[in-house]
Structure 1
Amino acid sequence: MAGQFEIFTDAESNVRFRLLAADGTVLATSGAFEDKREAANAIMAVRECAGTGLIREVRSNPWTGQRSGRGQGSTAPRRRHLPAV
């Protein structure tokens, strides 16, 4: 059995969705949406890009929340694409 998306209303009355694995494990939870239609549109967008999306590692400094670069003078972001598992 494949995983599934589940649309629900949170404690603040926002509509959200979560992606569940076949065994019911929550794999991802969305941000808040104003209504079910917006959540459904976001699910369609996830379905469309998830199969072809690359994995990118982004490192942050836990003290400042800023992304760390390669070095002091480097302005180019470090990109590392990982194969899908």
Structure 2
Amino acid sequence: MAGQFELFTDSESNVRFRLLGADGTVLAVSKPYADKRAAADGIMAVRECAGTGLIKETRSNAWGGTGRIRPGVPSPSHRSHRHFPAV
């Protein structure tokens, strides 16, 4: 069985969707949408680009930041971002 999308209403009365794996594991949760139609449009956008999207490795911290170096701390002379082909 393939994965599936599941629509639900969150605790703040926004509509969201989650992507479930074949075994029922939650793989992703969407941003909040105002209504079911907007959430369905979001699902269509995910379906459209999921198969062709690149994988980009970035550094981040646990609080959603970008991993920027604090003032006064030396930074690397160059940063490399690797792009991986879609699988």
Between the aligned residues of both structures, percent identity stands at 67
Q: Describe how 1:1-85 pairs up with structure 2 within 5 A.
A: 1-60=1-60, 65-68=65-68, 71-72=76-77, 74=78, 78-84=80-86
RMSD over aligned CA atoms reads 2.6
Figure out how many residues of one structure are paired with residues of the other and give that number.
82
Matches of 1:10 and 1:63, distance apart in 2? 21
Q: Contact (CA 8 Å) 2:21, 2:27: kept in 1 or not?
A: yes
TM-score w.r.t. the length of structure 2 is 0.78
- Which residue of the partner structure matches residue 72 of structure 2? none
Unmatched tracts of structure 1, length 5 or more: none
Cα distance, 1:79 vs structure 2: 1.9
Unmatched tracts of structure 2, length 5 or more: 70-74
Taking a change above 3 Å as real, the CA distance of residues 18 and 61 of structure 1, as seen in their structure-2 partners, is closer
Q: Contact (CA 8 Å) 1:16, 1:33: kept in 2 or not?
A: yes
Matches of 1:11 and 1:62, distance apart in 2? 23
The range that moved more, 31-40 or 53-62, is 53-62
